[in-house]
């Protein structure tokens, strides 16, 4: 589905297991995805943002990938509010947040959290 500026946002849900996390954890996961997409729209100059939710029996993996300009080569300021909130939300669901610069451009944000928080 394209946004009003023409950026394409694609969502896929894969995996064969039912989603078994409480509503508070589910909200943290949703808000984390929302922040990642918002950052890609505001800062990355992306034309495509892919959001993938992979639900397995023991693990949920949320991945947001964009084809934008990517992270700067120098270390990013992890004290920025959006990044702090994403790390906080991942911690609240006992998750692991990874932010990766893609080559030649783009960014991948991944949050892995256990089922049954």
Domains for the chain: give ranges and CATH numbers: 8-114 (3.30.565.10)
The pTM (predicted TM-score) of the whole model is: 0.88
Q: Are the beta carbons of 114 and 91 closer than 8 angstroms?
A: no
Confidence class of residue 116 from pLDDT cuts 50, 70 and 90? confident
DSSP state of 115: S
Q: What digits encode the pLDDT tens for the residues 5-25?
A: 789 999 999 988 999 999 999
Q: Is the pLDDT of residue 71 over 80?
A: no
H or E, element range at 65: strand 59-66
pLDDT over 90, % of the chain: 66
Confidence class of residue 4 from pLDDT cuts 50, 70 and 90? low
């Amino acid at each position: 589905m394209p946004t009003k500026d023409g950026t394409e946002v694609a969502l896929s849900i894969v995996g064969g297991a039912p989603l078994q996390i409480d509503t508070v954890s589910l909200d943290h996961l949703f808000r984390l995805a929302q922040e990642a997409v918002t950052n890609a729209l505001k800062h990355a100059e992306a034309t495509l943002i892919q959001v993938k939710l992979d639900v397995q029996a023991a693990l949920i993996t949320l991945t947001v990938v964009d084809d934008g300009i990517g992270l700067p080569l120098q270390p990013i300021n992890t004290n920025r509010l959006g990044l702090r909130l994403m790390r906080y939300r991942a911690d609240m669901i006992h998750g692991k947040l990874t932010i990766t610069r893609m080559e030649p451009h783009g960014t991948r944000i991944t949050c892995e959290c256990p089922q049954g928080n």
